[in-house]
Amino acid sequence: MKKINASVVIPSHRFDASSMRRLILTVDLFLNQGFEVVIADNSGFIDKQRQLREEFDDAIVFAATEADCKAMDNFLAGFAAASGDYILFATDDDTFFPVGVAALAHAISNSTGYAGFCAPTVRYAHEGIAIANTPDLSSESLTERLTQWILCDIAVSFYGCYSRQIWQRYFRFARQHPLKFAHHDQLLRFIIADAGQVSCLNTAWFAYDYSNWSNGQSAQESLVHYYTKAGFDERMIYVHSLLEGLEGALCQFKLDELAGREFQYVAVNGYWWGSWLAAFRQMIDSHHDTMPVGFWQLLEPVVNYLNLPDDANIYQLLQLFSKFLSGVYGSDGGLQDFWLNEAGDSLRIEAIA
């Protein structure tokens, strides 16, 4: 099989029989389509690497990583070991469709300067199966393309195959951000929209288990897990939608600032910020009476500011939210300082050696 200029990176942690069978099938599929296959294994099981070497000899690349390292560090190790100009991430429990992978390989081989590729994504859970469709990126307008990325499912935006520069930019941002939140994955869409032309293929190459996010209870438990790891607690559920909306708006503001253009107000305010603000207001209306008194007293200035008739100033809101976090938790975790002083540098495009 002719090699293509693309890598699939598999951050891997499992060593049960079912996961190994699926991992071997995934590796075999991508090797047969000409991809470089990089495995970043932090499971700590020596027999796992031995079994993979016996199966594939030297056809796969093993990234330098440590047993039980953090998930982000494992992704970064795999990214550092990959040599392809286009990079796709997979995990050892994902399912890939041969016809879709073949279509992606063909698109990469015939690429004329695309920043990346996306495709419909299949999501399965106890509640059933759903298809997340691709955005319409036919417009030359950045506002229109950004709107499409904002409206599309995170499964399509995060599980695409993108240029090294896109991933480099995203990982640099995520690594420098002082708090490790699940919603950083959501912010990748802004970086993709900023990168240029992405080709949307018609054939799905990927399916994943959506069970942790498919219903309200499991999604809330997952969010609590991430917030607790970041040094907060379950009370962050009350303000999750506000924080997600705020960080997305700040991310786009910084990208526009770096590019020397006007803030993409129409797309961000109308389709991103508006929906998250509505979700936050619904949360407040539903739970105001049951919130701890001290928590509400600290949150109330934020709510009052958002109820003013004028549009919120993004940095004023950041300051108020930082004060709220510091009042509840003793610190905002470095959030305000990052967005004021470091975010622009973290999102700057670096030359690729």
Q: Closest Cα partner for 190 from 116, 252, 115, 267?
A: 252
Residue 214 has pLDDT above 60, yes or no: no
- Give residue 137's region: left, alpha or beta (phi > 0; psi -120 to 50): alpha
Average pLDDT, the chain: 90
The C-alpha atoms of residue 118 and residue 106 are separated, in whole angstroms, by 13
Structural domains in the chain? 1-93 (3.90.550.10), 216-346 (no CATH)
Collapsing DSSP states into helix, strand and coil, what is residue 209?
strand
pLDDT higher at 14 or 57: 57
Average pLDDT over residues 180-184: 72
Report which residue type is found at 237. I
Contact (Cβ atoms closer than 8 angstroms) between residue 9 and residue 57: no
Backbone angles phi, psi at 198, to 5 degrees: -115, 135
The C-alpha atoms of residue 159 and residue 138 are separated, in whole angstroms, by 20
Q: Which of 22-26, 50-54, 68-72, 194-198 has the lowest mean pLDDT?
A: 68-72
Is pTM beyond 0.75? Reply is yes
Collapsing DSSP states into helix, strand and coil, what is residue 185?
helix
Where is 205: in which H helix or E strand?
Answer: none
pLDDT band at 179 (very low <50, low <70, confident <90, very high): confident
Where is 197: in which H helix or E strand?
Answer: none
pLDDT band at 347 (very low <50, low <70, confident <90, very high): very high
Measured CA to CA in angstroms, residue 197 lies from 163, 193, 248, 266, 349 at distances of 11, 8, 21, 20, 16
pLDDT for residue 284: 96
Backbone angles phi, psi at 6, to 5 degrees: -150, 150
pLDDT for residue 213: 60
pLDDT for residue 212: 61
Contact (Cβ atoms closer than 8 angstroms) between residue 88 and residue 199: no
pLDDT for residue 145: 95
Cβ contacts of 298 within 8 Å, gap of 6 or more: 323, 324, 327, 328
Cβ contacts of 52 within 8 Å, gap of 6 or more: 23, 24, 27, 39, 60
Average pLDDT over residues 61-72: 80
Residue 146 has pLDDT above 80, yes or no: yes
DSSP class of residue 53? Answer: H
pLDDT digits (tens, 9 = 90+) for 290-344: 999 999 999 999 999 999 988 889 999 999 999 999 999 999 999 999 999 999 9
Residue 1 has pLDDT above 70, yes or no: no
Look up residue 128 and give its two tokens: 């059933």
Rounded to a whole number of angstroms, the distance between the first and last alpha carbons of the chain is: 27
Q: Are strands 161-163 and 86-89 parallel, antiparallel or unpaired?
A: antiparallel
